[in-house]
Amino acid sequence: MARAERQAAVEEIVDQFNDADGAVLTEYRGLTVKELQTLRRSLGENANYAVVKNTLAKIAANQVGITGFDDLLTGPTAIAFINGDVVEAAKGLRDFAKANPALVIKGGVLDGNILDAKEIAKLADLESREVLLGKLAGALLASLSQAVYLLNAPIAQAARLAGALEAKAQEDPSILAGGAGTPAAAEEAPAAAEETPEEAPAEEPAAEATDEAAETTES
């Protein structure tokens, strides 16, 4: 490969690393061209599955700051550069490897961290982004429904209470004035309080009698 072609190939791998949300390294030895095409179609738009030369991939990885990649770059290597849901792409690779044992998942990189084959398998076992978003949406809707119920419950209770009072008022109009018999008692209390000062003059003769007794004693 000429120097210019080599440099262009490295730059292409660098761009794919930079644009990808994650990458999974595989060994494709034993897979036919048709099977590789099937794998690419199964990954869809989530990943770009590209056969790479190990030496060029090492150079590109170093240029983007990925270290510890060398041990994974052995044998015929193809990298799935994932653009989108990393979990969904990992599931696709895992399922294809189960049906086609010739595909070997060697590891990968996610957010700059090197993952081994077991960690990629654990990643594939996670729920996809769409499932998690669906669960989150369901939880939010449930919370909103509970909030609406809590807000509406006092209003409904108040409406039922108002209806009961209206029905009771039709049977006994005095209930609107504070309850049957209550207004009369309330009116009598102030009247009794007003009469008390008027009875005070009745005690004045007793004071005069006292004065007369004092004058009799002095005489």
182 inside domain: yes
User: H helices of the chain, where?
Assistant: 3-19, 33-43, 54-63, 86-99, 117-125, 129-171, 182-198, 204-218
Structure token digits, residue 95: 């399922």
218 inside domain: no
Q: Specify whether 107 is located in the same domain as 146.
A: no
- Sequence-distant (6+) residues with CB within 8 A of 124 are 87, 90, 91, 93, 94
216 inside domain: no
Beta bridge partners of 80: 24, 49
Q: Specify whether 79 is located in the same domain as 45.
A: yes
- The number of domains in the chain is 2
pTM exceeds 0.95: no
103 inside domain: yes
Q: Specify whether 14 is located in the same domain as 96.
A: yes
Q: Specify whether 87 is located in the same domain as 26.
A: yes
The string of pLDDT tens digits covering residues 165-204 is 666 667 766 655 555 444 444 444 444 444 444 444 444 4
208 inside domain: no
Spatial distance between the Cα atoms of 38 and 76, rounded to a whole number of angstroms = 18
Q: Which among 109, 126, 143 is the end of a domain?
A: 126
206 inside domain: no
Q: Specify whether 113 is located in the same domain as 71.
A: yes
Provide the mean pLDDT of the chain: 74
Question: Which residue did the predictor score with more confidence, 190 or 80?
Answer: 80
Q: Specify whether 160 is located in the same domain as 118.
A: no
Q: Specify whether 41 is located in the same domain as 19.
A: yes
CATH classification at residue 12: 3.30.70.1730
> Domain range holding 45?
3-126
At residue 100, the 3 state secondary structure works out as: coil
Residue 164: band (very low, low, confident or very high) from pLDDT cuts 50, 70, 90: low
Q: Specify whether 57 is located in the same domain as 20.
A: yes
**Residues 110, 54, 82, CA angle at the centre, nearest 5°?**
30
